[in-house]
Amino acid sequence: MEIEFIKKAANHVEFKIVGETHTFANLLKSHLVDDPNVEFVAYKLEHPTDKDSIFILKTKGKEAKKVLLDAAKRVQEDVEELQGAFDKALK
């Protein structure tokens, strides 16, 4: 996975996740939306056949990079929980 930042400011970032479409973008967006420090978050694909997600994130009260790192950690925790559930179910 590759991330390219388009804009970096304290409370506003825009970035592209290369090679990721709706599946991962929706997961990340859902965790960002849950953060009370997020004022606005959205992503788009420039074209239906595009393989890159472009995000816009605006925050209040907390730096955008910290909000992103926190969301990434929660995504990782969810994946680990899912893996544990599969491990348990498949024993």
- Give the model confidence (pLDDT) of 1-29 as tens digits: 899 999 999 999 999 999 999 999 999 99
pTM: 0.89
pLDDT at 91 over 90: no
Residue with tokens 């390219």: 4
CATH number of the domain where residue 65 is located: 3.30.1360.10
Q: What is the largest CA-CA distance in the chain?
A: 48
The percent of residues above 90 in pLDDT, for the chain, comes to 96
Decide if 17 contacts 3 (C-beta within 8 A): yes
Chain centre to alpha carbon of residue 48: 19
More reliable by pLDDT, 91 or 10: 10
The percent of residues above 70 in pLDDT, for the chain, comes to 100
Total domains present in the chain: 1
Domain that residue 8 falls in? 2-89
